[in-house]
Structures are given as C-alpha cells and as structure tokens.
Amino acid sequence: MNRQLKIKKTGVNKLIASTHLTSKIWQTVVAVMGVMFGVSMYIFMNSFMNGVNQTQDDLAFSTLAHVRIYNEDDRRSYNPVEDFFTNPGTLFNIRNKKSIQYTDGIKNTEQVISILEKQPEITGVTPQLNFSVFFRNGSKKINGSISGVEVATENQMFGIGNKVISGDWNELDFQKSGIVIGTVLAQTLNVKLNDNINVLTPEGVSKNLMVVGIVETSVKEIDKSRAYINIATARQFEGKNFDYSSDIQINLLDRDRTDEIVRRLQPLIPYQVESWQTANEQLLAASELRNIIAVAVSLTILLVAGFGIYNIMNMTINEKIREIAILKAMGFSGKDILIIFLTQATIIGLVGGITGVAFGYAISSMVNQVPFKVAGLATLPISYRTEDFILAIVFGITTTLVAGYLPARKASKIDPVVIIRG
Amino acid sequence: MKTQENNALQVRNLIKYFHDPETFQVIKGVSFDVKKGEFLSIVGKSGSGKSTLLYVLSTMDTDYEGSLEINGNPLTGQTQNQLAAFRNEHIGFVFQFHYLLPEFTALQNVMLPALKLGKFSPEEIEHRAYESLKLLDLADQGIKKANKLSGGQQQRVAIARALINNPSVIMCDEPTGNLDSKNSHAVQDIFRNLAREFDQTIICVTHDNDFAANTDRTIEMSDGLILK
C-alpha cells in the first residue's frame, strides 16, 4: 500500500515535470541542444585527438621498439693509474692517452633472447646489427646506415613487409646478398629493383648487393638513409660471429608500462635496457600535451553548456515562482519541488547526452572523410574509444544535474506566503 | 483548554511579528474557535492583520507564537514537510488571483492535489475531478488550458481544486476580490451551498461587506485584535 502510494506521488511529480518541459518546447530544445553540443564536441575532440595521437604513434612505432637493449661503452673515464694512486701528493704525467674499448655490442644474443622470451609481457623480440656505411652507385656516394635484421621477427614487430612498395621483404631471407633500401635513397642513388649497389663500411669492407625491395616508411629520415640486409650478411660485413648483434628490440603488450619490465630486466641482462619513453621524451611530451588540450577544450565546452542549462533552469524557475508557491500551498513538499525540477534536468541531460553521442559520432565520421594526404595518411584521422563515449554521457548528465540542482534547490526553498501575498 | 469535539479549528493566544523593515506586532494575541460546517468571514481594514491571520491558519506561515489546532491536530511546531502533507489532505485554498497552473488543463489543475495525496487511482481522481467541475458548471471547460479560461471560470476551477481532497477546512483570501458582481454572487452561492449541504468548514478573508453579510459569522479585526 505504502509503495503504491509512493509510485502515485512520484507519478504526479513526473506529470508536472513533463508538462513544464513540453509546454515551452523551444526552451527545452535550446537546453537539450546545449548539452548535445557539449557532449558531441567532447566526443569529436577526443576522437580526433586520439586519431592524431594514434597516427603519430603508429608512425613512430613503425621503426621504434618499446624497449631497446644495447651495449655502449660507458667507461670513457676509465683511468687505471689515477684510480690506483689515490695519495693526493702524487703527480701524474700521461701523454697521448688512448681509450681502450673493452666490450662492444651484444656477444651472446641467443642467450639474452631466451631470457626475454620467458617474460609474459613481451610480444616480440628481434636482434639487429646496425652500422653506418656509404652507399655507392657509379659516382654517387651517400652516407647512410644499414640495419642487419632477422627477416621474419623484424617484420612481425614493425610490419615492415607491408611498407615495401616494390619487391618483396622476404627476399632478404633467400638472397643473402639482397638489400632493401629506402625510397628516397633509391631515388638519389638512381637505382631500381634488381639493380646492384655498392656498400662500403668505415672499416673499408666493400660489397655489392642487389636491391630486392624498396621501402617507404613515411619517416623521412629513414627513407632517405636507411637500408636493410639479412643479419647474417651484416655479421660478415662487420667480421663478427653468428651470435653478435648491436641492438635487441623488444615490443610489449602495453607500451605505456615499460618501467616495470625495464626494472625487471636490468639485473638479468648485463647491457643497457632503455624504454622508448627515456629515449624519446619529446614523443611522450607531445602526445600528453595533445591529450591535455583535448580534455581542456572539451571540459570548457561542457562547462559553457552547463552555464547555459543553469541559466535556462534559473529562468524557468523564476518564471514559475508563483506556480511553485501554489504547489506548496496545495501540499507539495520542498522535496517534491526538487524532484520536479531535477527530473526536468535529468531528461534534458539524458536526451542531450544521447543525441550528443549520435551527433558527435556523425561529426567525427564526416571529419574522417576529409582528405588529408600527408605522411601516409589519406584522410584526417579519427579514432573512437568506448570510454570517451561513456565519459561524454557521464559528464553531460553530471553537468546538467549540477546546473539543474542549484536552481531546483532554490525553488524548493521558496516560501509560499511571501510569493502568494505579493 | 480542552478541544471540543465539534471544533474544526482552534486558535489560542496567537501573536505574530513582522521583522522587516522593523519589528512590529501584527497580531496581538488572538483566540477563537471555528465549528465544523461553519462559514466564517474575517473582515477588517487593510493592515489590520486579517490576511496575516489567514496565512497562519493555513499552516503556510509558521513564524508565530501561540497554538493552532485543526480537527484536533496540534500543528504548532511541526516541520514544513509535515505541514505540506497536512495541507494536502485537510486544507483547500482559494486565492484572490485564482492562481491556477496555466500550463495545465482545468481538469489537471483540479486533479493535482488528489494525485499528490494518492488516495485514489488516477482514473478515479479524474472521474471525481470531472464531477466537481460539473457541479460548478464547468463540465465543458475541462480540457481547456487554465490560462484560456475567463476570470470567473478560473475562480470556480480553483474552488473545484480546493474541494477535490474533501478537506476539513477551505480557506479563501479575497475569493471575490477580482470578480465582477455576477461572478462574485455565483462564488458566494457555491460557498453557501458547500457549507449547508456538504457541511464544509469555510474561512474567508474579505473586505466585501456584502459577502461577509452572507456568512454564518464574521470576525472583524483591527490593529491585530478581534473587535467582535
């Protein structure tokens, strides 16, 4: 019985709320549109920023691994004589001091890789042997670098096979004297597929290689100066054994969680372990700044929409102040009045939120059609994330409720005597 | 003093101050009873405190000293929400400027207090509201928006609304103050009938002597005191 009563009582509050909403339909539409624009702009801004970030990341991570292992001689200040004679009275005179390189590169690649493959977060590992060379074709001589790669794992990690615009990446596996070169480099050297080029290392090793593929990564620096050969050929060039590499590249399940794995690997591996965040701080900064801008802009829009709703609700309540007094005289409590106006705010928020999601999706898909042919893109990038849509609705409704609550509370506190007596 | 069985309303030693712009005693200790089924009018010059008295009786104004009982329920000191629920069930209002909700139809206006009370189903309430509109000669105006009705019609809708929950007391603030003499007489007749046939207690503040003469009893106020 009591419950039934309650239902009926909220029923009358709903009736009043819906009559208020429908009798001044344009005012309601304007309020709904305020929320709709806020929510849709939030979705659009975030989807656009996500698209931009993702494109940027895809571009960056097409050549950049999440974690890199390398061996750099960091003992340049190794001074055995000074270290031995610590007596402050001792004088030294050493002339033409030469630095001796103790270790260079990774000598036990297989062993390191087998440690890495035991880590569950690691999705890909590939060794590389990188060195700088001169590319020569006839009288042309261009400074560049060569990556000796393991053909299959390199492709699995960086998807480089898809970026080979003529020839075939897998040829590197079959033709030990094959080379895949960057597209700009090919143009400058004036070579085509199946032409031969000469490669000369700083140590003076020279070798003729056949172009089996031309690659376009959209990263200018790489297209201009990089070439790929089989790691076995690279070891020949450098005169190293079969277990030697200069870098081991690692990809993780979640590239934002590198710290943890770097910390875990450091004691296991006697080389430097470096995350992409440390190596490329500018990448991280740019992507975070874009995120901050997106959030700031969309929150501002929602805030402005919130003020709009606050104004409209305030206006409505000032307009209806006598009716509120009458309702109170008839026996509606302050709570009833609060419910009546909060119901209106909720409906405005819900309708605005839902249409805003649809509208935001529509705007985003339209922008996604706008041609933008730069750096391997065809159209402006848009990337949808479920959490943006959920947050947009949550923010939209929260803003509306807060904006509606303040005037509604004012309405609930109206003293009917003051209003009715005039 | 013990509440008498047939008292609809009992006021004891009521004192009321206004604090703005300066403290001023509007009602200076008033006591009276209203019997069930009595048609009472309160008259007096403007500033005599008669409207102020009515709003205290109506339970809307709680800032007073003294005690108020309606149907044996002591109302002094209750919370605003308790009083709102009490008004909903036991008090009907008719105001000078009829004060209907303009966006609702006449029928909805009549139904609202009953929907709020929730004692009957919405269908039952609609039926009752329609019956009481018919009683007040408004059967064909039910589906019109309240702001599309004439002044006299609006006042009658307001009376129908005041009656819908079968209240113990109907309180009116200048119910004919805004009406021409024809409509004014119609309203007077309605009240007369309600008091006589339905045994309804009615308390009206008015400065219309003609109206007051037509009631069972008249209380005249002057300077916050009852003259007779």
pLDDT greater than 80 at residue A210: yes
Chain B residues close to A15, C-beta within 8 Å:
108, 115
Most confident region among A90-94, A221-225, B135-139, B220-224 by mean pLDDT: A221-225
Q: Touching check for A334 and chain B: CB below 8 Å? A: yes
Q: Touching check for B84 and chain A: CB below 8 Å? A: yes
Q: What is the pLDDT of residues B157-183, one digit of tens each?
A: 888 888 888 888 888 888 877 777 887
| Å between A22 CA and nearest CA of chain B | 9
**CA torsion sign, A120 to A122 to A123 to A126?**
negative
pLDDT greater than 60 at residue A295: yes
Q: What is the pLDDT of residues A215-236, one digit of tens each?
A: 988 788 888 999 999 999 999 8
Q: What is the pLDDT of residues A323-365, one digit of tens each?
A: 888 888 888 888 889 998 888 888 888 898 899 999 999 999 9
Asked if B60 lies within 8 A of A11 by C-beta distance, the reply is no
Minimal Cβ distance to B84: which of A11, A325, A332: A332
Looking at residue A422, what is its pLDDT?
A: 64
Residue B59 falls inside a structural domain:
yes
**pTM score, two decimals?**
0.71
Residue B72 falls inside a structural domain:
yes
Looking at residue A10, what is its pLDDT?
A: 59
Minimal Cβ distance to A19: which of B103, B122, B161: B103
Chain B residues close to A344, C-beta within 8 Å:
none
Q: What is the pLDDT of residues B173-226, one digit of tens each?
A: 888 777 778 878 888 888 888 888 878 888 888 888 888 888 888 888 888 788
Residue the block writes with tokens 């590249």: A249
Percentage of residues in chain A with pLDDT exceeding 70?
Answer: 94
Asked if A19 lies within 8 A of B104 by C-beta distance, the reply is yes
> Which residue of chain A has the CA closest to B117?
A9
Asked if B61 lies within 8 A of A417 by C-beta distance, the reply is yes
Question: Residue B106: which domain range?
Answer: 7-226
Residues A261 and A274: their CA atoms lie apart, in Å, by 10
Chain A residues close to B60, C-beta within 8 Å:
328-329, 416-417, 420
| Å between B32 CA and nearest CA of chain A | 22
pLDDT, average across residues B38-55: 84
**Encoding tokens for residue A59?**
């571009």
DSSP string, chain B: -PPPTTEEEEEEEEEEEE-SSS-EEEEEEEEEEEETT-EEEEEE-TTSSHHHHHHHHTTS----EEEEEETTEE-TT--HHHHHHHHHHHEEEE-TT----TTSBHHHHHHHHHHHHTSS-HHHHHHHHHHHHHHTT-GGGTTSBGGGS-HHHHHHHHHHHHHTT--SEEEEESTTTTS-HHHHHHHHHHHHHHHHHS--EEEEE---HHHHHTSSEEEEEETTEE--
Average confidence score pLDDT of chain B: 83
Q: What is the pLDDT of residues B72-113, one digit of tens each?
A: 888 888 888 888 888 888 888 888 776 788 888 888 988 888
Asked if B103 lies within 8 A of A5 by C-beta distance, the reply is no
**Helices B151-163 and B122-135: angle between axes, nearest 10 degrees:** 130
Chain A residues close to B58, C-beta within 8 Å:
329
Asked if A327 lies within 8 A of B112 by C-beta distance, the reply is yes
Q: Touching check for A12 and chain B: CB below 8 Å? A: yes
User: Structural domain tally of chain B?
Assistant: 1
Q: Touching check for A420 and chain B: CB below 8 Å? A: yes
Looking at residue B228, what is its pLDDT?
A: 65
Asked if B161 lies within 8 A of A328 by C-beta distance, the reply is no
Asked if B60 lies within 8 A of A417 by C-beta distance, the reply is yes
Residues A354 and A368: their CA atoms lie apart, in Å, by 21
Instruction: Give the CATH number, domain containing residue B127.
Output: 3.40.50.300
Q: How far is CA A209 from the centre of its chain?
A: 38
Residue B1 falls inside a structural domain:
no
Q: Touching check for A280 and chain B: CB below 8 Å? A: no
Looking at residue B48, what is its pLDDT?
A: 82
Asked if A16 lies within 8 A of B112 by C-beta distance, the reply is yes
Q: Touching check for A421 and chain B: CB below 8 Å? A: yes
Looking at residue A314, what is its pLDDT?
A: 84
Looking at residue B120, what is its pLDDT?
A: 83
Strands A178-182 and A206-215: parallel
Residue B2 falls inside a structural domain:
no
Residue B221 falls inside a structural domain:
yes
Asked if A9 lies within 8 A of B116 by C-beta distance, the reply is yes
Looking at residue B197, what is its pLDDT?
A: 81
Q: Touching check for A5 and chain B: CB below 8 Å? A: yes
| Å between B106 CA and nearest CA of chain A | 14
Chain A residues close to B103, C-beta within 8 Å:
19-20, 23
Looking at residue B141, what is its pLDDT?
A: 81
Residue B75 falls inside a structural domain:
yes
Q: What is the pLDDT of residues A142-179, one digit of tens each?
A: 999 999 999 999 888 888 888 899 889 998 888 888 99
Q: How far is CA B67 from CA A22, A114, B77, B81, in A?
A: 44, 91, 9, 19
Residue B31 falls inside a structural domain:
yes
Looking at residue A75, what is its pLDDT?
A: 54
**CA torsion sign, A186 to A225 to A156 to A387?**
negative
Looking at residue B133, what is its pLDDT?
A: 86
